[in-house]
Amino acid sequence: MDKTEDIWLPVIGRALAYLCTQTGDFEKKKMVDRAKLLDALGIPRKDVADMLGTTPASITEQLRQARGKRRATKKKTR
């Protein structure tokens, strides 16, 4: 790849990921659900926070709490 592709491919990828969170069903979902999607797509937390209008620390905490709730639910069902 040449330098132009190295610069623009990540920009295009982030733009498409952002559009995914702003359309359809994801527009109505909670911020943590949108953050999970962006995180799963490999978008850095700083960029996720910028896209969702919050801070990286807030995104990290919301994802941590979501993991904790999921783990607590698994323990209760056993």
Q: Assign 3-class secondary structure to the chain.
A: CCHHHHHHHHHHHHHHHHHHHHCHHHHHCCHHHHHHHHHHCCCCHHHHHHHHCCCHHHHHHHHHHHHHHHHHHHHHHC
3 — pLDDT class (breaks 50, 70, 90): confident
Chain mean pLDDT for the chain: 85
Identify whether the C-beta of residue 31 lies closer than 8 Å to the C-beta of residue 54: yes
Q: Is the pLDDT of residue 2 over 90?
A: no
Quick: pLDDT tens for 16-48.
888 888 887 777 888 999 899 888 888 999 999
